[in-house]
Amino acid sequence: GAVVSQHPSRVICKSGTSVKIECRSLDFQATTMFWYRQFPKQSLMLMATSNEGSKATYEQGVEKDKFLINHASLTLSTLTVTSAHPEDSSFYICSATFWTSGGAKTQYFGPGTRLLVL
């Protein structure tokens, strides 16, 4: 099946620094990728839709200047958490749209990146 990777898997940083998280579709091209955030013992909340070659679409309440998204190629989207603070500590998961041979779409998810801001 389709594989989506994320890097890094874990990151610890100091408050005020910026952190970049990469999401890659390894064996398929994805014009659309999604970024989710998951708090402990909670569900995934969609943060933004990342479109290759255009600006990301952010969900209501998500600060676009705080969470910068770049989708520069058909296999890579990056999420940069700028000036991170402890409240940004979370599990960030990306997904990519995969087209099956039958013409249907399925979302495949990356393994997640755990961010801890001290």
Per rule CB under 8 A, count of chain residues that contact another protein: 22
Among 37, 47, 112, 117, binds another protein (CB under 8 A): 112
Among 26, 29, 111, 118, binds another protein (CB under 8 A): 111
Q: Where are the beta strands (DSSP E) in the chain?
A: 4-7, 10-13, 19-25, 32-38, 44-51, 57-58, 67-73, 76-81, 90-99, 105-109, 113-117
d(CA 64, CA 24): 21
- 108 interacts with another protein by CB under 8 A: yes
The distance between the two most distant Cα atoms of the chain, rounded to a whole number of Å, is: 47
- 49 interacts with another protein by CB under 8 A: yes
- 43 interacts with another protein by CB under 8 A: yes
- Positions in the binding site for another protein (CB under 8 A): 1, 6, 32, 34, 41-44, 46, 49, 93, 95, 97, 104-112
